[in-house]
């Protein structure tokens, strides 16, 4: 594994950091396309305030090979933060690159891509993620500890900024176009090429999910009341079949979900011979452990105690 930290002042700066770091760790850059084995990731900075990421099957940027949606780190009403600290790490087996950007100590923004550690033999496996959805940009993101259907609805903010966090996309209770998903997977198991897409006419489409709907008891009962430690939960992905049941299709390597009850952003945890650096998904708030949104919970916007642990190879 490789690790680097520094500061950036724009989306263009962060793009240059990611491209350089990726090339130093086995990825090939061709224009805006980063490629390693079967993973083809397109990164573009359309302005100083917006970095976009999407995936291309076989490197082709036309339908049906290109993912119809993209994710991004973006700032609509604010300018890109000055001297934002970044942490970037690259891993093999499976190929994974993850970057976390920290603004003003409290606010965290994540972007990652790579190849899934697949369960079984199926076509696909590359994934990508960034903090905001393609339909909006807002520096205030929030989510619930247990994910699933009990989601906040409000304004244009990305409600589910965690990696493969929410199963659904859109507001199923009305006709408004509310695109919230931020994670996408090349998965050709049900006749599609890219799972986690959105249809304006069918908001009930079945998408790739990870464990919040499966592993809710783990998140709800962390940390351990005996020693205060938390379980680092793998990013297991499940695909929902038309009969309503789930099948395991793989997991995202080198990152874990974590409850930040007894941890601070940037803490390094030792688990046996491994070390993990932990961050909130956006902003930690112990007063609202399940996450909060103004007007819905009464608290400031936060992701509560929901966090991510990234395998750490730094000093």
In this prediction, residue 152 carries a pLDDT of 44
Per-residue pLDDT of 85-119, as tens digits, reads 999 999 999 999 999 999 988 999 999 999 999 99
* Residue 32 exposed, middle or buried by CB count within 10 Å (0-12, 13-18, 19+): middle
The CA–CA distances, whole Å, from 271 to 130, 147, 231, 275 equal 27, 26, 10, 6
- Residue 247 contacts residue 239 (beta carbons within 8 Å): yes
Residue whose token pair is 């709800």: 220
In this prediction, residue 212 carries a pLDDT of 62
In this prediction, residue 153 carries a pLDDT of 44
In this prediction, residue 290 carries a pLDDT of 80
SS3 265: coil
Spans in the chain with pLDDT lower than 50: 148-157, 175, 200-206
List CB contacts of 58: < 8 A, sequence separation 6 or more.
40, 65
d(CA 37, CA 26): 10
**Region of 104 on the Ramachandran plot (φ > 0 left; ψ -120 to 50 alpha; else beta):** left
pTM of the model: 0.91
In this prediction, residue 191 carries a pLDDT of 77
In this prediction, residue 171 carries a pLDDT of 52
* Token output for 304: 């509560």
């Amino acid at each position: 594994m490789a690790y680097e930290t520094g500061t950036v002042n724009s989306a263009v700066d962060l793009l240059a950091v990611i491209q350089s770091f990726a090339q130093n760790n086995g990825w090939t850059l061709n224009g805006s396309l980063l490629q390693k084995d079967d993973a083809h990731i397109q990164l573009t900075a359309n302005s100083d305030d917006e970095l976009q990421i999407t995936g291309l099957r076989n490197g082709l940027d036309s339908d049906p090979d290109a993912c119809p949606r993209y994710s991004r780190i973006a700032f609509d009403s604010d300018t890109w933060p000055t001297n934002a600290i970044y942490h970037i790490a690259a891993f093999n087996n499976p190929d994974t690159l993850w970057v976390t950007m920290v603004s003003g100590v409290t606010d965290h923004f994540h972007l990652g891509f790579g190849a899934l550690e697949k369960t079984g033999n199926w076509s696909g496996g590359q994934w990508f993620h960034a903090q905001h959805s393609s339909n909006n940009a807002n520096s205030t993101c929030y989510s619930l500890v247990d994910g699933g259907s009990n989601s906040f609805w409000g304004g244009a903010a990305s409600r589910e900024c965690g990696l493969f966090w929410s199963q659904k996309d859109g507001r199923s209770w009305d006709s408004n176009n509310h695109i919230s998903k931020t994670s996408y997977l090349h998965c050709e198991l049900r006749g599609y090429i890219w799972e986690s897409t959105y249809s304006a006419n069918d908001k009930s489409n079945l998408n790739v999910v990870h464990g919040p709907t499966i592993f809710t008891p783990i998140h709800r009962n962390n940390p351990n009341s005996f020693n205060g430690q938390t379980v680092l939960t793998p990013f297991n992905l499940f695909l929902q079949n038309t009969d309503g049941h789930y099948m395991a299709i793989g997991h995202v390597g080198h990152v874990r979900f974590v409850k930040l009850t007894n941890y601070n952003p940037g803490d390094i945890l030792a688990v046996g011979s491994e070390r993990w650096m932990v961050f909130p998904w956006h902003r930690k708030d112990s007063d609202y452990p399940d996450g909060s949104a103004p007007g819905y919970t009464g608290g400031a916007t936060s992701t509560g105690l929901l966090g991510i642990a990234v395998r750490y190879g730094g000093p």
